[in-house]
Amino acid sequence: MTMKYRRILLKVSGESLMGEKEFGIDPLVLGRYAEEIGSLQKAGVEIGIVIGGGNIYRGVENSSDGVDKVTGDQMGMLATIMNGLALQSALEHRNIYTRLLSPIKMDEIAEPFIRRRAIRHLEKGRVVIFGAGTGNPYFTTDTAAALRAVEIGAHVIIKGTRVDGVYDSDPEKNPKAIRFPEISYLDVLKKDLKVMDLTAITLCKENRMPIIVFNMNRQGDLHRLVMGERVGTIVS
C-alpha cells in the first residue's frame, strides 16, 4: 500500500494520555501511542507532534481559583512540556530518535524552536515534538498545531481524539449523533462544531491544510489513515 501523507502533524490531547485515570499519564496509553508513532516513523513518515496539557493542568476560564488567565496558560504550556518529555522518553526506549522543541527558553530540557532546524530534524527521520504551544497565552494547542503544520510544510493535520470523527453533537452524550465522513471548514465554523478552535480552523482554511479527526485509541487506525484508507472525518 502506498503512503498518502509523507509529512504529518499529529495533534494529541493531554486528556487522551490519562486513559482510565482521572489525571496524569497512563503508562499503557503512553506505550501504545509510542508503538504506533514508532511504526509510522519506521515506514518513512516524517512526524511532528503537538501535545496538549489538559491531563496535568486545565487552563482556567476565569479567576475562580485565584490564578489569572495568563498565568494559567503559562502553567498549561509547562504541562505540555511534561507530556512531551514523557512521550520523548517512551519513543527513545523504542530506539526512535526524538527531539522536543520549545518556543520558550528552557535549554536544559528542550531545544529552542527554530523552523529550519525542525524541518532538518524531520528530514533526518527524527520525530519532532513541539511543546509549550505557541509560547504565548490566549492561544490553544489547536492553534499551535495549525501553526506548526503550516510552518513545517506538513501534508495534513491528524487530530487524535476519543471519538472516530466529527459529529453533529457529542456522541459520548448523544447516541443518535450523526458522523460526517467529510466536512468543509466553513461548515465546521457555521455549525460551531468543536473540531478545533476558531483561530486554528481559520489558519487551516487560509493555508488549505486538511485536518483528519480520528479515534487515537483504536489500534492501527493511525497507520491506515496515513496510508490513505478512509478513517475518521476529513475537514478540507
What digits encode the pLDDT tens for the residues 92-128? 999 999 999 999 999 999 999 999 999 999 999 999 9
pLDDT digits (tens, 9 = 90+) for 119-150: 999 999 999 999 999 999 999 999 999 999 99
Cell numbers representing residue 170 in the block:
457529542
Burial of 32 by CB count in 10 Å (0-12 exposed, 13-18 middle, 19+ buried)?
middle
What are 62-69's contacts with CB under 8 Å, separation 24+?
69/137, 69/138
Residue 194 predicted with pLDDT over 90: no
- Domains and their CATH numbers in the chain: 7-235 (3.40.1160.10)
At 34-72, the pLDDT tens digits run: 999 999 999 999 999 999 999 998 755 544 567 888 999
**Position 4: which residue type?**
K
Specify the long-range contacts of residues 21-30, CB closer than 8 Å, at least 24 apart.
23/55, 23/56, 24/55, 24/56, 25/55, 25/83, 25/86, 29/217, 30/86, 30/87, 30/90
- The predicted pLDDT at position 65 comes to 67
- Separation CA 140–CA 149 (nearest Å): 14
Closest by CA position to 29, among listed 5, 55, 4, 9: 55
pTM for the model = 0.94
> Which DSSP category does 226 fall into?
H
Cβ–Cβ under 8 Å, residues 8 and 226: yes
Longest dimension (CA), the chain: 54
